[in-house]
Amino acid sequence: MTETNLKKAGHNVFLGLLGSLTLGLAPFYPEPHLFGKIRWVLGGANGMAAMDWFDLAMHGAPVVFLLWALWTYYKVKNSQAAES
């Protein structure tokens, strides 16, 4: 059972990594969209419209999913080691 959970967690990490590298960083040139939006927010978010916030959420969602998947993988891996 725990091996199946570890396999699922590993698949989630892969999907999160794939999503973060493709959707999270698109468009790649001249600068990833997510980096520009984060810099805009850190600069005070002056002039950000609702569409800009939605865009930040959509480009940031794969990164949030990746962080969650890594945390889940770590928890499953540790619980499997504790059972052994």
Task: Give the start-to-end residue ranges of the domains of the chain.
Answer: 2-83
- How sure is the predictor about 82, in pLDDT bands with cuts at 50, 70 and 90? confident
pLDDT confidence of residue 84:
66
User: What is the predicted pLDDT for the residue at 2?
Assistant: 64
**pLDDT confidence band for 62 (50 / 70 / 90):** very high
Residues 2-40 as b/e (b if ≥16 CB within 10 A, e otherwise) read eeebeeebeebbeebbebbeebbbeeeeeeebbeebeee
Q: How much is the pTM?
A: 0.84
- The predicted-structure confidence for 21-49, as pLDDT tens digits, reads as follows 998 888 888 888 889 899 999 999 899 99
Burial 48-68 (b: 16+ CB within 10 A, else e): eeeeeeebbeebbebbebbee
